[in-house]
Structure 1
């Protein structure tokens, strides 16, 4: 599959929710597709609306078919299929995911089938006459207000806004918590520690710089890594790939169209 054969549609502004990003992907002609997904700092719902057998998601030791939820840090994930692709992808900030799906810790490191609510919604999404209608249906399912600690939400938003740069002690001080309390509450609700969240956000920024052709040494300096070797180690840990391979990953090629502005906060 070539990304030039894929049409990307995003919601109109009035359908956008805090902590939520949505995009619709439509392949113009049926054919085989094989995409390596790159780690990013959000929880993804992938609602498969394709014809035929649908998508297959392969990750370490597990295979899932159809519509799935991918938590933070599921490891290398490869999506394959043979059909005309129609997929609604919803990216949730970990704060939104914790409130809408339950503690994000329950999804961390996993790719699992979507829950019953979304399986029932698939019929409505398939029957919709346009992506605008599909986004309206999805927004209706997501629009109830969620509850998480405002302190946790603040720390996540600061981590994204600063591209993973702030010190955990400084963030704890901003919300009036001890480092230990922030560490405990953040991990319980979002599934990863504040330090690991900062690493993931920083890597996401670096990956997108690599994807637009910036050299690894320059990316390392711009993203806050100690040196190019540090960037190489982090890239290997998050993706098993080299920085050069991440730069060529097709999954990143459409991010500026589908996910402008970076990760959801």
Structure 2
């Protein structure tokens, strides 16, 4: 799964890495959580063949996918992730897989290693970042949901696949990572059908990421400062957030996915 991630690159860094037209201005975000707005990259229409402008644009969507046929969002589960193995056929994602594939830029993501209950050990948070620095692009899906009163909301989900060998000790799933050389093919929904890009929805290379143990401060969505990415030893991490001057303790285990002080669509 992917339930928390970060995007701390400057706008110009995003423009360069993903070849987008004017990414606008946005702050670094160290603890992006469900229901918050996230930046996605879409293919842009190039009506002038003489234009030298990049063929991609950014959009802001709510992280929490809503299929167009949903009548009441309150009666529908929050779809943060879409399983790559079933997204092509699943009713919730089938149309978006065909028509609205996007890239979700990230500086890295967080995942929790959960120990067996009988061990008595708390869950351990990891900050998972590319070894080479910079950003990666998750495979994502976008859908515009319209309410009965005519108002619209753009929503999105991150595709996940089975974990690679390096990731498996933490979790059995990981985000789909689209390589730069495959950006155009992934975003091309006009000529590339879902079955044509199925080969891109596979585990990332084993040597792509570093796995950095961090404190349980990341569990709480209100903690948004850079120090949540500070490395800790595994034996210290369960107590790191109680040190003087740090964030208040956060409970070990699954992250708190409630609304926090970062950007909110509601």
Provide the TM-score with structure 1 as the length reference: 0.28
Q: Which has the higher helix share?
A: 1
Provide the TM-score with structure 2 as the length reference: 0.28
